[in-house]
Structure 1
Amino acid sequence: MRLSAIHIYPVKGCRGLAVDAVAVDALGLAGDRRFMIVDPEGKPLTQRPLPRMALIETQLSESALTLGFAGRPPISVPRRAEGARLLTVEVWSSSGLLAEDCGDEAAVWLSGVLDHPARLVRIGEAFRRPVLKASVAGQEDVVSFADEFPLLVISEASLADLNAHLEGRGAAPLPMDRFRPNLVVSGCAAFDEDRWGRVRIGELVLRAGGPCARCVVTTTDQLTAERGPEPLRTLATYRRDAQKPSDVNFGQNYIQETKAGTLRVGDEVTVV
């Protein structure tokens, strides 16, 4: 088994980036979901209600995040800043989080793109967000602005299995970007990632956090922001959670037990 692709999503809910290698720290993949767009109450804005977010392009340099959107000049904000104003934000069940405000210029730009009041916030020194699932998380396990866990892993075989089901129902196959994984693995059977428990990828050991229940974002074309019924309609026929039948699962969440290192496309993947 090999690591066949790495994806980071600099801004929660916006377009991601494919990279050949990435550093890993306590929060997950460096640069992954270290920024978030929030409403005036500090709640996250996502593609669930705002599919247009898929059209916001992201680029990272060593010092800056750059956002782009068709028909508008791009805007850049620093990845780190001294003395930034702190805002209290939340991410689903995690509340009271302290994030750094990225300023009025970014807020005006995003509010115009989304046609919705919005501000951009960034993870800084004051931010700490524990992984809340006590059955799999230790005190040292923290997470960024990602939904619940630092990493999402999906195998190429799982997508191939889903696409075979879709084509059998007369629907078009879907690309991997519908599921916004961090790590893609080749060389295993479909849904093996659900059964690994602990796995070593290159120099890092990961621990399974549980299945990823999928939402309407998977029905959003990540290049056009258009929505349709798939893949949720088909996943519901064979990927319902045995303990929570209202959930349909695709992909497995993971926590990095190794809190520092580097992942590279081509790294060997072994169950430990």
Structure 2
Amino acid sequence: MLAVSELYIYPVKSLGGISLPAASLTDRGFEYDRRWMLVDENNRFLSQREVPLMACLHVALHNGRLVVRNINKPDLFYQIPLQPLTTETTTVTVWDDECRAQWVSAEADAWFSEQLDLSCRLVYMPDGSHRPVDVNYAHNKEITSFSDGYPLLMIGQASLDDLNSRLSSPLPMNRFRPNIVFTGGLPFQEDDLKQFSIGDIRFSGVKLCARCVMTTIDQQTAVKAKEPLKTLSTYRMKENKIHFGQNLLYHGSGTIRVGDAITIDHNIH
């Protein structure tokens, strides 16, 4: 039996994730997932690809606020209200997409700029800002948040176990930033999960996730290495891209919990 074993959200794109016992689906992924983002002076998104130190900013949800801590300075934290303090909007860029975003506060901009030692600003995606997923993979004009391209990413624990059996030092799941992790399957079974259900919510696996240098960054130290891309390239390379994980779209709403069964629909092709 396949079952949900871990659930994660990443409220601020490219900062640390939060492990949850249950996660509620919205119109663009899990609640709070990647609804905030840091942008540079050109309003283009920032990520660990260019700023590895972002890995050291860890996020928690506490008393209706996001609490961001710099793990290199444990006593230092910053609280972000779940609704921005400004009403000012702007256009921001995520890869090839442009969408509307709301400035959070000048205070937030100053705090993050100091922690990362670069000029940046924090933005929020309001409910009225709609960023469509790639039309080549969309089923019903789905939208996503500030994620790289899709509202959810799923990885099987067996896939990580398979990878770790080939590495000299095993890596944690946080290198791959999934939203849903499941147990009980074969290695890379998520590649073939085209249609499945969790409770009353139906999911579609639409596109394998191509992996980048972010997977080589230690999420505690921000130090880059060659793994896991070096090893993955030997057996997970297709069309010059290294794949690990499956991007998902879904139909329905509700809450997913750790322990929920995953039911594969064999009748839909």
Aligned to 1:263: 256
Once the 2 structures are TM-superposed, how far is the Cα of residue 135 of structure 1 from its aligned partner? 3.1
CA contact (8 A) 1:130 1:139 kept: no
Which amino acid in the other structure matches residue 135 of structure 1? N
Aligned to 1:154: 155
Aligned to 2:13: 12
User: In structure 2, what is the Cα distance between the partners aligned to 1:151 and 1:44?
Assistant: 19
Which amino acid in the other structure matches residue 49 of structure 1? E
Alignment of 1:1-272 (within 5 A): 1-61=2-62, 63-69=64-70, 70-71=72-73, 73-81=76-84, 84-95=87-98, 97-132=99-134, 134-166=135-167, 171-241=168-238, 244=239, 246-258=240-252, 260-272=253-265
Q: Structure 2 unaligned segments of length 5 or more: list them.
A: none
CA contact (8 A) 2:86 2:105 kept: no
CA contact (8 A) 2:86 2:103 kept: no
Q: Structure 1 unaligned segments of length 5 or more: list them.
A: none
CA contact (8 A) 1:213 1:250 kept: yes
Once the 2 structures are TM-superposed, how far is the Cα of residue 203 of structure 1 from its aligned partner? 2.7
Q: CA RMSD in A?
A: 1.3
Which amino acid in the other structure matches residue 88 of structure 1? T
Percent sequence identity over matched residues? 39
The TM-score normalised by the length of structure 2 is 0.94
User: In structure 2, what is the Cα distance between the partners aligned to 1:270 and 1:2?
Assistant: 9
CA displacement 1:186-231 (0-9 Å, x = unmatched)? 0010111010101112332111121101000100111111111000
CA contact (8 A) 1:203 1:263 kept: no
User: In structure 2, what is the Cα distance between the partners aligned to 1:177 and 1:87?
Assistant: 31
Once the 2 structures are TM-superposed, how far is the Cα of residue 63 of structure 1 from its aligned partner? 3.0
Once the 2 structures are TM-superposed, how far is the Cα of residue 82 of structure 1 from its aligned partner? 6.8
CA contact (8 A) 1:149 1:209 kept: no
Count of residue correspondences? 262
Aligned partner of residue 152 in structure 1, secondary structure = strand
Which amino acid in the other structure matches residue 46 of structure 2? L
Once the 2 structures are TM-superposed, how far is the Cα of residue 81 of structure 1 from its aligned partner? 3.9
Aligned partner of residue 238 in structure 1, secondary structure = coil
User: In structure 2, what is the Cα distance between the partners aligned to 1:29 and 1:62?
Assistant: 19
Aligned partner of residue 147 in structure 1, secondary structure = coil
User: In structure 1, what is the Cα distance between the partners aligned to 2:38 and 2:218?
Assistant: 20
Structure 1 segments of 4 or more deviating over 6 A?
A: none
CA contact (8 A) 1:99 1:126 kept: no
The TM-score normalised by the length of structure 1 is 0.93
CA contact (8 A) 1:63 1:80 kept: no
Aligned partner of residue 110 in structure 2, secondary structure = helix
CA contact (8 A) 2:28 2:144 kept: yes
